Homo-oligomer: A and B are copies of this chain.
Amino acid sequence: MGSEFKNGGNEMIESGKELAVVAEKSKMRGWDLLLRVAAVAFSLAAAVVLGLDKQTTTVTLTLVPTLPPVDIPVTAKWHYLSASVYFVVANTTACAYGAISLLLLSANRGGKKRIAMTVVVFDLMIVALLFSSLGAVAAIGIISLKGNAHVQWHKVCSVFGKFCNQGAAAIGLSGVASTVFLVLVLVAILELHWKR
Also in contact, A193 and B143, with CB within 8 A (given A136-B138, A150-B76):
no
Residue pair B151, A83 in contact (C-beta under 8 Å): no
Residue pair B142, A139 in contact (C-beta under 8 Å): no
Please measure, in the bound complex, the distance between the C-alpha atom of A154 and the C-alpha atom of B143, giving whole angstroms. Answer: 13
Nearest opposing residue in chain B for A140, CB measure: B139
Contact check: which of B133, B142, B185 meets A135 at CB < 8 Å? B133
Please measure, in the bound complex, the distance between the C-alpha atom of A185 and the C-alpha atom of B182, giving whole angstroms. Answer: 12
Please measure, in the bound complex, the distance between the C-alpha atom of A190 and the C-alpha atom of B188, giving whole angstroms. Answer: 11
Please measure, in the bound complex, the distance between the C-alpha atom of A83 and the C-alpha atom of B150, giving whole angstroms. Answer: 14
Contact check: which of B138, B144, B190 meets A117 at CB < 8 Å? B190
The answer to whether the Cβ of A47 comes within 8 Å of any Cβ in the partner chain is no
The number of times this chain is found in the oligomer is: 2
Q: How far is the CB of A21 from chain B (nearest CB, A)?
A: 16
Q: How far is the CB of A125 from chain B (nearest CB, A)?
A: 8
Q: How far is the CB of A78 from chain B (nearest CB, A)?
A: 11
Docked complex: A148-173 residues within 8 A CB-CB of B? 148, 150-154, 156
Residues of A within 8 A of B (CB): 76-77, 80-83, 86, 113, 117, 120-121, 124, 127-129, 131-140, 142-144, 148, 150-154, 156, 178, 182, 185-186, 188-190, 192-193, 195-196
**18 further contact pairs, Cβ within 8 A, besides A140-B140, A192-B192:** A76-B151, A80-B148, A81-B148, A83-B135, A117-B189, A124-B127, A124-B189, A132-B134, A132-B138, A133-B135, A135-B139, A137-B139, A144-B151, A151-B153, A151-B154, A151-B156, A185-B185, A189-B189
27 A-B residue pairs with Cβ-Cβ distance under 8 Å, sorted by A, are A76-B150, A76-B151, A81-B148, A81-B150, A83-B135, A83-B139, A83-B142, A86-B135, A86-B139, A113-B196, A117-B193, A121-B189, A121-B190, A124-B127, A124-B189, A127-B127, A131-B135, A132-B132, A135-B135, A135-B139, A136-B138, A139-B140, A143-B143, A144-B151, A151-B153, A153-B153, A189-B189
